[in-house]
Amino acid sequence: MKFGFDIDDTLINLREHAFRIYTKRLKQDLSLETFKGINRVEIHEPFGLTDAEGKEMWTHSLEEIYYTDCPAFPGARETLLDLAEEGHEIYYITARPKEHGIRTREWMKEKGFPNTGNRFFYGMQDEEKVKIIEELELDYYVDDKPAVLNTLLHTPTQLIVKDQSYNKDLEMERLIDWDDFKSMIKMGT
């Protein structure tokens, strides 16, 4: 089978990692409960930043956010390694900017995710992922963003949303724990 995965907030806990970086940089002692209460993708509001200030903070923090020790969600790496070992095709499809694509692929490899060679796609807008996913004829695709998943509803690809505070209203198969992924796709463990 062919499996496609978004990276940020699907395989790795990027927003929470960024939130922790923001608390240090802005010298604000905000709790993890505050983070969990954010019901949009952007994380700047609890810090008192406007949307423009938040965008600037994100842009100027990308190096640290993307390439420091951002943790994978428990079980994500192991699940993908199992799938690859079983002979399934693994594709990464991320909206990370082009200038971060090759380095992100290497970072994922260093973190122990299966190396997929030419199965790593980056540098597109969220809504442009649909074209790649359609061309690849994926059996399953996992992402966290409703805007992305909603563009794929017309495709035969089975969609799974990685559970996040900002996608609770999305009605589709929901991945909460990576250890449950294989049973979700009816492959067994």
For residue 100, pLDDT beyond 60: yes
Angle between helices 14-25 and 51-67 (to 10 degrees): 110
For residue 188, pLDDT beyond 50: no
* Enclosing H/E stretch for 142: strand 140-143
R_g of the chain, CA atoms, integer Å? 16
Q: What pLDDT digit, counting tens, does each position of 163-186 carry? A: 999 999 999 999 999 999 999 997
Per the CB < 8 A criterion, the answer to whether 182 and 160 are in contact is no
